[in-house]
Structure 1
Amino acid sequence: MNYILLFLAVVTGYIVARILQKKDLKNMEVFMAFSGAFLLSITVFELLPHVFETPSKSIGVYIMLGILLQIFLEFFSKGAEHGHIHLHSENKHFPWILFLSISIHAFMEGFPISEHNNLLAAIIIHKVPVAIILSFFFISAGYKQSTTLFFLFFFALMTPLGSYISTHYDLVHQYETQITAVVIGIFLHVSTTILFESSKNHKFNLSKMTAVIVAIVIAYFI
């Protein structure tokens, strides 16, 4: 069921993108702020205590590696993981670099998902707006529908695949803490970037601040 829900998050994003107009994307900023705050809260409340059950400086090293990995991936994904993407409309070739970078990100997301945490909900809430923005810009840039669907289909498979591998392969279990620490670094970078970008020019926005507070409270009590 978890795999299906993760896949459907991207499908939902594509369907919504087909319905939305460009002006409607501005309303996504509040949802993005909520998703960023919720992902950050789940990371802080659940994943961080898990990896630091046995405190070790090396865990901090893996977290920093995750942050650096996400920074590296964003050189190629153009920030698609946190809702920003710029495609060149004159280039209709399949965007392999974008596909590979965002697929690696999505693949890594799946590893820490388990029945012992609420990360599944956080990733679904994170994936829907990202899928909406990805889909919308693919459509707006004039890519063929087959190209868009191919991209989104395999992108949708990556997180369930990561979750499946983490669950069924003993080798991954041996390095569970280290892998989770790397993913924590990825989540910390992505979620804080979403929150930073949701408050452009450092202007106070009551609706976004409310969304952030609500996300934190929900993440704490679930």
Structure 2
Amino acid sequence: MAYILPFLSVILGYAVAVFIKPSKRQNLKLLLAFSGSFLLSLTVMHLLPEVYEGATAHHHDHQGHEHGHNSPIGLFIMAGIIFQIILEYFSHGAEHGHVHGPGKHHDHSHDHYAPMPWLLFISLCIHALLEGMPVSHHNDLAWGIAIHHFPIAIILTAFFINSGLGKTPITLFMLAFSVMTPLGTLLSENLHFIEDYFTEISAVVVGILFHISSTIIFESAENHKFNLAKLLVIILGVIMAYFL
């Protein structure tokens, strides 16, 4: 399931964009707000405590006493946030649904995206690959990433169709994006290097997920005003993550 869920969610999102062509941006925004709140809650409730526990245990092993207050884990989390900001510089925020969906274009969409948008492609793939790494120890996170990737896949596919990218490049792009998270999980389970630095890598991913999910929650609000439906789906995301 940890491998299949993130893969299927992107394929499903791609299929919805190609065959159903959703036109209601409001529904997509609600889905985004839910996915952001679900992902943020999973990160805060499950991933974050374990990252700090792992760091504390690591300190005990090496030092025989605790250095909790100056744990470098906070630095790795901040590094994840900064790394995500750098990735977004190249991807224009596509990983939180920031490319404009059906019928809307960025002013620069034609000069940037008529050919294969390599910068967007590479930054999204790095992002998805890293997200997959903690899944090897936290299978619950596969649900969070799957729910997060579903609306993103719809928006991305619609955006590519609008920018005049051909069917083959779009399909290949979305296929590559869909296998990146399972590939991250696979690498994490099989490479000793990743296993040795699992806590640090997870902390970087916590930073990435913090930045993305909080951005999704705030950006999906029109003029930063939360309407009732938005508030309810955000609360629902928190409750569901708590019981997972």
TM range, normalised to the smaller chain?
Answer: over 0.9
Unaligned runs of 5+ in 1: none
Moved more, 10-19 or 30-39: 10-19
Paired residue total = 222
1:60 is aligned to: 74
CA contact (8 A) 2:40 2:214 kept: yes
* TM value normalised by structure 2: 0.87
Distance between the aligned counterparts of 2:131 and 2:168, measured in 1? 26
CA contact (8 A) 1:46 1:117 kept: no
1:83 to 83, 97, 102: 97
Give the letter for the 1:40 counterpart: L
Give the letter for the 2:35 counterpart: S
Distance between the aligned counterparts of 2:196 and 2:5, measured in 1? 27
2:36 is aligned to: 36
SS in 2 for 1:34: helix
1:99 is aligned to: 121
Moved over 6 A (4+): none
Question: Alpha-carbon deviations, 1:29-85, whole Å to 9, x = none?
Answer: 100000000000000000110011113520000000000000000001001000011
Larger Rg: 2
CA contact (8 A) 2:2 2:139 kept: no
Distance between the aligned counterparts of 1:24 and 1:178, measured in 2? 40
1:74 is aligned to: 88
Unaligned runs of 5+ in 2: 57-67, 100-105
Structure 1 position 218 matched with structure 2 position 232: no
2:160 to 138, 156, 160: 138
Distance between the aligned counterparts of 2:22 and 2:30, measured in 1? 16
2:6 is aligned to: 6
CA contact (8 A) 2:87 2:123 kept: yes
What's the C-alpha RMSD, in Å, of the aligned pairs?
Answer: 1.5
Distance between the aligned counterparts of 2:149 and 2:41, measured in 1? 16
Distance between the aligned counterparts of 2:25 and 2:221, measured in 1? 16
CA contact (8 A) 2:2 2:135 kept: no
* TM value normalised by structure 1: 0.95
Structure 1 position 195 matched with structure 2 position 228: no
State percent identity of aligned pairs. Answer: 49
Moved more, 191-200 or 53-62: 53-62
CA contact (8 A) 2:114 2:165 kept: yes
Distance between the aligned counterparts of 1:141 and 1:22, measured in 2? 17
With over 3 angstroms needed to count, the CA separation of the structure-2 counterparts of 1:27 and 1:118, relative to structure 1, is same
Distance between the aligned counterparts of 1:207 and 1:19, measured in 2? 27
